[in-house]
Amino acid sequence: MPTLTYLQAISAALRDELRADQRVLLMGEDIGVFGGAFKVTDGFVEEFGTDRVMDTPLAESGIIGTAIGAAVVGMRPVCEMQFSDFISCGFDQLVNVAGKMHYRQGLAVPITVRLPSGGGFSGGPFHSQNPEAWFMHSPGIKVVAPSTAEDAKGLLHSAIHDPNPVCYMEHKHLYRRVKGEVPSGVFETPFTARVARPGSDLVVIAYGAMVSVALEATEDLDGAAVEVLDLRSLVPLDEEAILDAVQRCSKVVIVDEANATCAAGAQVAALIAEKGFESLDGPVVRVATPDVPIPFSPPLEQAVLPGVDRVREACRELLAY
Amino acid sequence: MATHMAEPAAGGADAAVEHLTAEDRVWLLRAMLMMRGLEERAMSLYRQGRVPGSFYDGYGQEAVSAGAAFAMGPQDRLCILHRDLAAHLIRGVTPSRILSQYMGRAAGITAGRDGNVHFGDRNLGCVGMVSMLPDMMLVAAGMAMAFKLRGERRCAMTWFGDGSTSRGDFHEAMNWAGVQKLPVVFVLENNQYAYSTPVDKQYAVDPVERAAAYGFVGVTVDGNDVEAMFDAARAARERALAGDGPTLIEAVTMRMHGHAAHDDMKYVPKEQVEEWRKRDPIERQEERLRAVGVDIDALRASVKAEIDAAAEEALAGPMPDPGTATDGVFCTGEAEPLGDGQAPWSGFH
């Protein structure tokens, strides 16, 4: 099994899909000749041509809107937002046209929207956001967020095969930091949670870049057996896996890199309050970015993004409860 | 690329006759009569409290959708606007399903999930509009993009209003279609008002001129002449299929009723309405056909009988089951693309 970075795994999934299925079409700004702002599609034009690895006009609404049109006549478009922040310019097409299409008219919209998201590299307020919760609140859109190289590939295959619009949150900070063995060829990873490390004293629930933060923070936590649950999919949310972990561990810390209010973790906390209350042996604790734009300067950015120390401290306090 | 600015109706009707059989011309009138009759029936159902929400119609604008949709083939794809009911009729949506749709009944095209003309029968090659106008311009451009990538001789068509020309999606779609030279026909239904806002507060330059700015042809057509509309759409479709790119058709017409049922249209000068009343698209087509011996009274009677039967059928149908309100948000099977629609124009047979 080859070892790939998270970014190479995304590239491999796209390449495999383009080879396997003529309906697959990549669309985005600077993804063709230039190979993408992060080089995810580097060299693709040589193999697949400029029609299937399409440099589009600089128009995010245009990218999503035309992808919808292509999808309903039989294509499988994969759209790249250069940064997830720019999906705000395509929000209406995604939420109002794509998200509501099947409910209103029984017409499937099989599009994948790749959203390079997250902070940690001084991207500032417009290149660091985690907009997943916007789409969790919009019916008809699935949302997935891989944390490992293997899941980056498998979830992307599943997203492209899914008959619905899927937001694929790829965390920029993981692109070259995360590596792992990844099966070759097309395989699907289910839209369910994954136990990243089993435990029994406390569970940290996280997704995306926060999974590795949670693992590092709890690797050696005064001998406690800390479980880390990687959600992988936010819509659908794996309620069974979450409630099962709560039942086994009784103490829960939920970590979001996104702004705290109405974040994915808030939904997880609400779920536990509604359906897991009897299993709890302490308050549900959340660690998230406060409700501020992501600042540019490193000391300011590090002050708001959840890091290893904050997560470790939150776990220690809860274990002592 | 030069913008071709046709005079309203200049030669339109005569040119169209070349491509229309006697039956086609009656078809066009029938579609317009059916649209008007159905909307009048729906309005009376609305007043009886049987149509929930509000009610929107296209009174006086029937030629725009009837003429343009008639030029499209079964494999072409359409995104239809809310004052364009005739396009749905031409694609093959039945009157009883349309009345069921207005009344939010289970037999409506969206089975009660959306109202009024917010529908598209996916089996007939149509995608229903959303309220954010003109979002569907991009969807139509995307369909056309797929046709071009696959080397298929098909085109996409969509309608939008004068107000839509102010929004970003209008410009993104025009630019995209121009850059990629897509087989798409944009029908700008200029009915002089976006809700209460007149066109002089909407744009500083006639939007048909923008087509040239985006690198393709723009034509102005008398939107109250169904045969001129047909001919402009037919020519645009030919251009699209020949690989010559998009066309913007500006159909000049007038919204003769309020924005919706609640709107008394006080902001429109009476003289303007009276002036346009003389150009009623149905009367004009009736006059043409009467001159060649068509029995207009018989046609009207048959349309009315069909609407009566449709209303009876729709009223007898059930409301949707509340237990199904959360069904169908996601597709759980295979993604089925749009199916083909009907194309009654004799040119396709």
CATH of residue B79: 3.40.50.970
- Angle at CA A37, nearest 5°, toward A35 and A41? 30
Domain membership flag for residue B280: yes
Is 80 exceeded by the pLDDT of residue A131?
A: yes
Domain membership flag for residue B123: yes
Q: Tokens for B300?
A: 């009207």
Domain membership flag for residue B46: no
Tell me what the mean pLDDT of segment B112-121 comes to.
95
Which residue blocks in chain A are alpha helix, DSSP H? 6-20, 44-52, 60-72, 91-92, 99-105, 132-136, 149-161, 209-217, 239-249, 264-275, 298-304, 308-319
Contact A102 B328 (CB under 8 A): yes
Domain membership flag for residue B100: no
A260-280 pLDDT per residue, tens: 999 999 999 999 999 999 999
Is 60 exceeded by the pLDDT of residue B7?
A: no
Overall number of domains in chain A: 2
Contact B173 A104 (CB under 8 A): no
Say what the pLDDT of residue B14 is.
66
User: Which residues form the domain of B88?
Assistant: 12-19+60-93+115-293
Q: Which residues of B323-332 are buried (b: 16+ CB within 10 A; e: fewer)?
A: eeeeebebbe
Give the minimum alpha-carbon distance from B345 to chain A in angstroms, rounded to a whole number. Answer: 23
Banded pLDDT at B16 (limits 50, 70, 90): confident
Say what the pLDDT of residue B13 is.
53
Overall number of domains in chain B: 1
Same domain, A35 and A138: yes
Domain membership flag for residue B1: no
Q: Tokens for B8?
A: 């309203």
Provide the CA A92 distance to its chain's centre, in angstroms. 20
| Active-site residue identified among A127, A157, A171, A173 | A127
Same domain, A246 and A294: yes
Is 60 exceeded by the pLDDT of residue A251?
A: yes
Same domain, A129 and A237: no
A67-109 pLDDT per residue, tens: 999 999 999 999 999 999 999 999 999 999 999 999 999 999 9
Domain membership flag for residue A173: yes
Domain membership flag for residue B334: no
Of A160, A181, A202, the residue at which a domain comes to its end is A181
Which residue blocks in chain B are alpha helix, DSSP H? 12-19, 22-47, 62-70, 85-91, 95-102, 135-150, 168-180, 210-213, 226-241, 270-277, 281-291, 296-316
Q: Which of A22, A64, A105, A135 to mutate to test the interface with B (most CBs of B within 10 A)?
A: A105
Query: Looking at per-residue confidence, does A119 or B348 come out higher?
Result: A119
Cα diameter, chain A: 59
Q: At what angle do helices B226-241 and B12-19 cross, to 10 degrees?
A: 60
Domain membership flag for residue B262: yes
Q: Tokens for B251?
A: 């159909």
Pairing of the two strands A226-230 and A194-197 = antiparallel
Domain membership flag for residue A186: no
CATH of residue A313: 3.40.50.920
| pTM > 0.90 | yes
Which residues of B carry out catalysis? 255, 259, 267
Same domain, A57 and A93: yes
Tell me what the mean pLDDT of segment B264-280 comes to.
96
B207-261 pLDDT per residue, tens: 999 999 999 999 999 999 999 999 999 999 999 999 999 999 999 999 999 999 9
> Which of A57, A105, A163 has its CB closest to that of B128?
A105
Say what the pLDDT of residue B17 is.
84
Banded pLDDT at B3 (limits 50, 70, 90): very low
Same domain, A147 and A112: yes
Say what the pLDDT of residue B9 is.
42
B37-96 pLDDT per residue, tens: 999 999 999 999 999 999 999 999 999 999 999 999 999 999 999 999 999 999 999 999
User: Which residues form the domain of A29?
Assistant: 3-181
Domain membership flag for residue B40: no
